[in-house]
Structure 1
Amino acid sequence: MFDFLDVYPWLLPVMIFFGRIFDVSLGTLRIIFVSKGERYIAPVIGFFEVFIWVVIISQILIRANDLVAYLSYAAGYASGNYVGILLEQRIAYGIILCRIYTQKNGMELVQILNKMNFGATMTHGKGSTNEVDIIETVIDRNQMRNLEATLTGFDANIFYVIEDVRTKQNGIFAKRKNILTRWRVGK
């Protein structure tokens, strides 16, 4: 299947390097989907991850007998970790809980969040120096940039923490956009 590598042996390190990038990047995504409970997506990604790894490792065991192939394997692994992290940040898959602490009027922020179709809950608390309003909202992770811009626009000294959430149920959540919504009647 890879007889061309006998004719062009310089392609082996290139194939190893890029194969490892794909394989490790898929591994990173698989771990994310496993941690989010995506039992149908994770096995499919795992299949392709292991398939690529087996192909690469078999070519290393058959043909690789020099330091360049070994270095390209290690460099592909390191680069794959980096690319996997970039992909994970770009996809921003999952749900997060944002807990917001402000010394300004929290009801104003709740109303702003409601206009953005984010459900929000507010409680009062005592901070180390003053009274604070604590606002909690659960959003899709890919909406965090919009939320950050809104929060800093509301209060330049705002403090917030973010936690991963595995599931959500029975709340006020923004409607998900779907590719089919543009063709559905009434939308």
Structure 2
Amino acid sequence: MHGGYIVFFQQLLDSWVFSWIILPILIFMCRIFDVSIGTIRIIFVSRGKKKLAPLLGFFEVSIWLIAISQIMQHLDNIACFFAYAGGYAMGNFIGIFIEDKLAMGTLIIRIFLISDENEMKARLYKAGFGVTSIDAHGMNGAVKIVYTVIKRKDLSKAVSIIEECDPKAFYSIEDAKSVNQGIFPKTGKSGFMEYIKPGK
């Protein structure tokens, strides 16, 4: 009975179905997994996740070795090359998609205003965001610069407030590698907005 299974699998491995359909699909899937993991690993490195990044790197390289070893054993199979390249492209897309859904890390938003900033500050405060404003001078005269540090998952909420208060406001967004203290919105058990300080 076992001998029959061995013969069947040996025939499958030697068949054109395996070489031109099953193997390229496996390589394609391996590339998706290893590139997706690699994309997330790079993001974790930039976020300072020192424990998770090496672990992801181990799995990334292990899966990549499986894929590249199959490519080297089937250099005459063009379907494997297309599967390898296609998996790389799809892996990047999926990795970015996963990172976007995880919404990890914090962002700094700088808002440059020539109009009154009080309404925007009040709306951001009410939504639970910490806000700092300073006086500055630009090419066209005096401006107000409003700073707020937010969690990435709250970006759309903060941007909607900014654009509702001043549709013409100029603002920039960048990653904050680390945050020691700050005020962020958090929904507690009661469902109301609370203020928290990271690390406490």
Taking structure 1 as the reference length, the TM-score comes to 0.85
- How much does 1:63 deviate? 4.2
- Structure 1 residue corresponding to 2:146, chosen from 121, 125, 135: 135
1:113-124 correspondence to structure 2 within 5 Å: 113-124=124-135
Q: Structure 2 stretches of 5 or more lacking a match?
A: 1-8, 195-200
Distance in structure 2 (CA, Å) of the matches to 1:108 and 1:5: 69
Contact 2:151–2:184 (8 Å) recurs in 1: no
Aligned match for 1:42, one of 34, 53, 68: 53
The one of 54, 69, 79 equivalent to 1:68 is: 79
Q: Show the counterpart of 1:165.
A: 176
Q: CA–CA distance in 2 between the matches of 1:43 and 1:36?
A: 13
Deviation at 1:90, TM superposition (A): 2.9
Q: Structure 1 pair 155/5, CA: closer, same or farther in 2 (3 Å)? A: farther
Distance in 1, Cα, partners of 2:110 & 2:132? 10
Match of 2:117 among 99, 106, 117: 106
Paired residue secondary structure (1:162): strand
2:92 — aligned with what? 81
| TM-fit CA distance, 1:144 | 0.7
Deviations 1:5-36 (A, max 9, x none): 44533200111112101111110100000111
Aligned residues with identical type, % of pairs: 40
Specify whether residues 5 and 49 from structure 1 end up closer, same or farther in structure 2 by C-alpha distance, changes over 3 A only: farther
Q: More displaced, 83-92 or 131-140?
A: 83-92
Task: Pick from 28, 32, 40 the counterpart of residue 29 of structure 1.
Answer: 40
Mapped partners of 1:5, 1:73: distance in 2: 19
Distance in 2 between residues matched to 1:148 and 1:83, nearest whole Å: 25
Structure label with greater radius of gyration: 2
Q: What TM-score, normalized to structure 2? A: 0.80
d(CA) in 2 for partners of 1:168 and 1:115? Answer: 21
Superposed displacement of residue 62, structure 1:
3.2
Decide whether aligned partners of structure 1 residues 60 and 117 sit closer, same or farther in structure 2, where only a CA change above 3 A counts: same
Contact 2:74 2:80 in 1 (8 A): no
Structure 2 CA distance for aligned equivalents of residues 22 and 48 of structure 1: 9
Distance 1:100 1:117 in 2: 17
State the match for 1:59 in structure 2: 70
The 1-side partners of 2:71 and 2:13 are apart by 11
Cα deviation per residue 1:32-86 (whole Å; 9 max; x = unaligned)? Answer: 0011110121122212211211222222233453111112111211222222223
Asked whether the equivalents of residues 124 and 134 of structure 1 are also in contact (C-alpha less than 8 Å), the reply is yes
> 3-state DSSP class of the match of 1:93?
coil
